Amino acid sequence: MDFIKESADKKPIVDTVFAIVEKAKKAKEMFGEENVVDATIGSLYDEEGKLVAFDSVYNSFNEIPNEKKAAYAASFRGNDDFRALAAIHTLGKGKVNLACKVIATPGGTGAVSLVMSEFLETGETVVLPDIAWGSYILMAKDKQLNYVKYEMFEEDHFNLNSLKKCVNELKGKQNRIVIVINDPCHNPTGYSMTKEEWQEVISFVNEVSQTTPCILLNDIAYIDYAYDLDHSRDYMKVFEGISDQVMVVIAMSCSKTMTSYGLRCGAAIITAKNQESVDQAEIVFEKSARSLWSNVNNGAMINFVKVLVDHNEEFLLEKAKYVDLLDARSSIFIEEAKENGLPIYPYKEGFFVTVKIDNEIKEKYHEKLMENNIFTVQVNHGIRVAVCSLSVEKCQGLAKKMKDILDEIQK
């Protein structure tokens, strides 16, 4: 008996990470930890191979009384102090002069999902990057949307021409256009756009918006690992130049920022020129939130405020140590990649570096790497190396080994 509705996609989720994580685990048991490179896991790990959970975050969390952790949030929109601080943390206090409302969400995932749900009708098309976090496509399909993919790069910079082409082809075919940009610290390439590139994107969407309203989803999941943290939000100033037919929704996540992946907390920061447009989006987001998850983890929201208000210095110092570590790990890999001619996408910062590989040989290359006890994750047009979970020692010599194996399969 088939109980599931006809329109549902019944194929199991292909979890490209979990299966390889398991293989890496087995290889470590068989060949010994020291002989295996496990670059699969997309969370921050320390040099001893342990998941990082910031003391500044969890000591603070443990001070929260149980009954507060147990309680529902103050509203379906989230706690007011969390919402206010999420906006400031994202945009800077008074720095971006736009109307703004915030809805707390279970992680950045919730914010991305709301955008996919509330702007496009069934069967319409969302614009996604071609190299991207896999969940965008999953969500689009789940909401019965089609998707088109713009190419992320033209040589080593953001491919505005490809984005323009995708959007121009959609113009006139649907009432609204939704564009997803995961920046800065793009997953999985580690690219961050320049302020000028953002300026060009905004000029373009303004132009498009003369005929078709545009919604820009800026997914900033990894922003707090930018190497120049103080200036990591500078590009958002450019959003002030949007037309009144453009809305920018920023998907903010506490998962990476606070090393609290499982606490499920984030926010959708809704911005536009007009207060009315923002209020309208807030209403539909709140209803959708109510119907899907009801309310967001109260303890996580309380703690976000507590950490940033009462323990900010300690938190920033602790996080900075790991940002430096990411820099050290990625620099080793990138320098060696350059020395040995291993092609990589233009990494600037973030959790991942991605090796540029044609899809035709990717599967074979990935297999060969595993035969050599190097475990990575396949992405579109590439092989993702998670420097976030790979020790400095394991990063050393890795690019050369990967290049040698690439040469071998291309012989």
305 vs 406 by CB, closer to ligand PLP:
305
Amino acid at 92: G
Residues that bind ligand PLP (rule: CB under 6 A) add up to a total of: 13
For residue 367 the two structure tokens come to 């297999």
The neighbour count for residue 301, using CB atoms within 10 Å, is: 26
Whole-angstrom distance, CA of residue 288 vs CA of residue 28: 44
The span of 3-11, 28-36, 162-170, 253-261 binding ligand PLP (CB under 6 A) equals 253-261
Partnered with residue 303 across adjacent β-strands are none
219 vs 336 by CB, closer to ligand PLP:
219
Q: Are 108 and 219 in contact (CB under 8 A)?
A: yes
213 vs 382 by CB, closer to ligand PLP:
382
Interacting positions 55-114 with ligand PLP (CB under 6 A): 107-109
37 vs 131 by CB, closer to ligand PLP:
131
**65: preceding bond cis by omega (within 30 degrees):** no
27 vs 181 by CB, closer to ligand PLP:
181
55: Cβ contacts below 8 Å, ≥ 6 apart = 318
Torsion angle of C-alpha atoms 349, 304, 198, 381, degrees rounded to 10: 50
115 vs 278 by CB, closer to ligand PLP:
115
Q: Dihedrals φ, ψ of 242, to 5°?
A: -70, 150
255 vs 288 by CB, closer to ligand PLP:
255
Whole-angstrom distance, CA of residue 310 vs CA of residue 317: 14
* Residue of the chain from 125, 209, 245, 253 that contacts ligand PLP (CB under 6 A): 253
280: Cβ contacts below 8 Å, ≥ 6 apart = none
213 vs 266 by CB, closer to ligand PLP:
266
Interacting positions 128-157 with ligand PLP (CB under 6 A): 133
Q: Are 239 and 207 in contact (CB under 8 A)?
A: no
The least distance separating ligand PLP from the CB of residue 178, rounded to whole angstroms, comes to 15
The least distance separating ligand PLP from the CB of residue 352, rounded to whole angstroms, comes to 9
Q: By C-alpha distance, which of 264, 256, 271, 326 is closest to 107?
A: 264
Instruction: Map residues 261-280 to x or -, x wherever contact with ligand PLP holds by CB under 6 A.
Output: x----x--------------
Cβ-closest position to ligand PLP: 107
221 vs 302 by CB, closer to ligand PLP:
221
167 vs 221 by CB, closer to ligand PLP:
221
Instruction: Map residues 163-202 to x or -, x wherever contact with ligand PLP holds by CB under 6 A.
Output: -------------------x----x---------------
The least distance separating ligand PLP from the CB of residue 42, rounded to whole angstroms, comes to 6
The least distance separating ligand PLP from the CB of residue 107, rounded to whole angstroms, comes to 2
The least distance separating ligand PLP from the CB of residue 267, rounded to whole angstroms, comes to 10
The least distance separating ligand PLP from the CB of residue 135, rounded to whole angstroms, comes to 7
* Residue of the chain from 118, 219, 224, 349 that contacts ligand PLP (CB under 6 A): 219
* Residue of the chain from 57, 139, 221, 390 that contacts ligand PLP (CB under 6 A): 221
The least distance separating ligand PLP from the CB of residue 244, rounded to whole angstroms, comes to 28
Residue 38 contacts ligand PLP per CB under 6 A: no
Chain positions contacting ligand PLP, by CB under 6 A: 42, 107-109, 133, 182, 187, 219, 221, 253, 255, 261, 266
